[in-house]
Amino acid sequence: MRILIFLSAFVIASGCSRHKAPEGLRVVSLSPGITEIIYAIGAQDALYGITSHCTWPPEALREKESVGDFSFPSMEKIAGIRPSLILAAGDGQGKAISHLTNAGYNVRVFHPADISELFRHIIEIGRLTGKEKKASELVADMKKDIRSIPKVKNKSVFIEVCPQPLIAASDKTFLSSVCEIIGLKNIAVFKDSYPGVNAEWLIRQKPDFILLTGSSEEEFRALHPYIKNAKLLRPSDIDIIVRPGPRITRGMREIYYLAEDAEKKQ
């Protein structure tokens, strides 16, 4: 099962003191999305530690010290960095956040429920790192990009997180909000964010599309051969749709064009 992980981005400082990063700021990012945001806003000089899942931009893995796994980072490595600020995603990191908070670290959690909250988080990360201007510019650019993306009309989607057991991303998730913006109505309306469902239920719901984030088309078809009518959508890079960050607009655009191409092949 692919873990959904989430956050955003910014860059550059002016001579004005309120735009400068706090003196001695040492940041550890425990989220790939947050790491992408930090680099996008040009705050990477204040970044000292990342997780092994922080794979974008590529230089992050070369330049920054890894503190280990996303869910269970090394407390010893984090202590060695002596961070003044730890930025976490929250989802799936409860124990680590609890340990770090109890140890006296300044931990901030960013886990956006939708695009609007992602924008607010980007602005806040910009404020914390002294990159407010670039954060605002990034948000403005992302909003402009989203407005330019065409919309799918009157279509439904099932968002697959894991093929077996079959797990969905419900209407309570960030990824669902992304699909809604481009016109895809999520059929998985549940109290839980990632509910388990069965194939019989999915067949009865008759979604127009199934967005795959946890398996390939071949794997999904092999595991669920009776789900025939829905068109499968598999982005070329899953990270750009499951990470709430600056690349999410690329992910939204790709989902739209995948849906459009699938419709043409009908």
Cis bond leading into 57, ω under 30°?
yes
Q: Are 141 and 163 in the same domain?
A: no
Q: Are 179 and 244 in the same domain?
A: yes
CA distance 164 to 160: 10
Give residue 20's pLDDT band: very low, low, confident or very high (50, 70, 90): low
Taken as a whole, the chain contains a residue count of: 266
User: What's the pTM?
Assistant: 0.88
User: Who wins on pLDDT, 266 or 219?
Assistant: 219
- Last residue of one domain, picked from the residues 96, 118, 146: 146
- Last residue of one domain, picked from the residues 111, 146, 181: 146
Q: Are 124 and 163 in the same domain?
A: no
The 10 Å Cβ neighbour count of residue 198 is 10
- Last residue of one domain, picked from the residues 146, 163, 179: 146
Closest CA to 12 of 34, 57, 42, 45: 42
DSSP annotation of 15? S
Q: Are 180 and 219 in the same domain?
A: yes
Distance (Å) of CA 230 to CA 90, 136, 236: 33, 39, 19
Q: Are 39 and 140 in the same domain?
A: yes
Q: Are 207 and 248 in the same domain?
A: yes
Q: Are 94 and 176 in the same domain?
A: no
Instruction: Indicate the number of domains in the chain.
Output: 2
Q: Are 137 and 207 in the same domain?
A: no
Domain of 85, CATH number, reads: 3.40.50.1980
Which tokens in the block code for residue 100?
A: 């770090």
Model confidence over 53-101: pLDDT tens digits? 999 999 999 999 999 999 999 999 999 999 999 999 987 899 999 999 9
Number of H helices, E strands in the chain: 11, 10
Model confidence over 157-213: pLDDT tens digits? 999 999 999 999 999 999 999 999 999 999 999 999 999 999 999 999 999 999 999
| Domain extent for 136 | 17-146
